[in-house]
Chains A and B, each alone.
Chain A
Amino acid sequence: MNTHAALLVGVMAVVTALLRFLPFLIFRKQTPPYIVYLGEVLPPAIMGMLVIYCLKDTVFTQAPFGLPEVMASLMVVGLHCWKKNALLSILSGTAIYMLLIQVVF
């Protein structure tokens, strides 16, 4: 189990480093328009994907019907639109979520 985990850490480290170094190795002169286009559209799409990924274990069909997740998520969005402070939004949302699942539901 630990060998496999170490392998996965290695894969993540190598692929991440590869992504960081690749532009410096290949796009020295010109960046193809398709890559520039993907660079613009992928970040928001990937964030959307990651939000769904994080919420994949939420059960909406039985109590508490995903209410802690929905309430904490809305809190993050609301606070973030209002104060535009990532740290504040993340901390408050997490604190509310922990409170909701430990105390309320």
Chain B
Amino acid sequence: MNAAVIRKAFFRSIPVMSGYIVLGMGFGILLRNAGYGVLWAFAMSLTIYAGSMQFVGVSLISGAAGLLTTALTTLMVNARHLFYGISMIGRYRDAGKYKPYLIFALTDETYSLLCDGIVPAEDPNLYRFLVSLFDQIYWILGSVLGSLLGTVLPFSTEGIEFSMTALFIASLTDQWRKKGSRIPALAGLGCTALCLLVFGKEKFLIPSMLLITTVLTLPRRRKGAEA
């Protein structure tokens, strides 16, 4: 192990540290409030390791959702990871023994740290591996802390679940500023609201996903000319 590479990777990961610890704690508290303790928090952060999905997962688990609903929800919530992968195919090609973990640990935040392709000349794959690893350590640490401390915090955690809503609203606000994303954003909001009204809050997610994909696929043929 090379100390300089470790140091560089650590400094690179600092922006993610506070966010992952705080959001991880929110997840741990939420999961504990739903009746699942520290081992569950640890296991989910270790094996799933996808922030928004784990928040959604709390309600899937506590509502005893079906396997198909869970699989489809995961598919839709995490579909964006396909595209992170697509853009990293070239960079991770020669990562050798680190490659499986690099791919497994490619979260939104880790992607945002590594997608610029700026890596030290010496041992770039160790650097990528360590940045990915540090990020997951922060996330696991946060969720375990939240689960353990959630019950002894000196204030009521009622309403902490809004951190998930806030996370998605902040991401949506980011997306909204990108060119060409307003129609998809409105389609997502509109189709889901419509399906919630029509199908009720127990089973509106799958119809929403189908409707969103259909609505977004339709205008694609017309787009050819303007693009």
Contact = CB atoms under 8 A, between A and B. Distances in A.
B162 interface: yes
Nearest to B59: A53
B149 interface: no
Contact of A94 (B160, B192, B209): B160
Interface stretch (B122-130, B138-146, B176-184): B176-184
Given A13-B48, A16-B49, A42-B216, A80 B184 contact: no
A37 B35 CA distance: 40
B169 A93 contact: yes
Given A90-B170, A98-B160, A44 B89 contact: no
Contact of A48 (B77, B104, B192): B192
Interface string B159-172: 11011111111111
Contacts of B184: 41-45, 48
B220 A34 contact: yes
Nearest to A10: B47
Contacts of A24: 85, 89, 92, 103
B80 A23 contact: no
B165 A55 contact: yes
A86 to B, nearest CB: 5
B119 interface: no
A80 B173 CA distance: 7
Interface in A67-98: 68-69, 72-73, 76-77, 80-81, 86-87, 89-91, 93-94, 97-98
Contacts of B64: 1, 4-5
A102 interface: yes
A56 B194 CA distance: 12
A89 B166 contact: yes
B189 A51 contact: yes
Interface centre among A27, A39, A52 (most CB of B within 10 A): A52
Interface residues of B, number: 90
B198 interface: no
B22 A91 contact: yes
Interface string B14-33: 00001100110010000000
Nearest to A45: B188
Interface string B200-227: 0100110011001100110010010000
Contacts of A102: 156, 158-159
9 contacts: A35-B82, A37-B223, A43-B83, A45-B185, A48-B187, A72-B162, A80-B173, A89-B170, A94-B160
Interface of A: 1, 4-5, 7-13, 15-17, 19-24, 27-28, 31, 34-57, 68-69, 72-73, 76-77, 80-81, 86-87, 89-91, 93-94, 97-98, 100-102
Interface of B: 18-19, 22-23, 26, 36, 40, 43-44, 47-50, 52-54, 56-57, 60-61, 64-65, 67, 70-71, 74-86, 89, 92, 103-104, 106, 156-160, 162-176, 178, 180-193, 196, 201, 204-205, 208-209, 212-213, 216-217, 220, 223
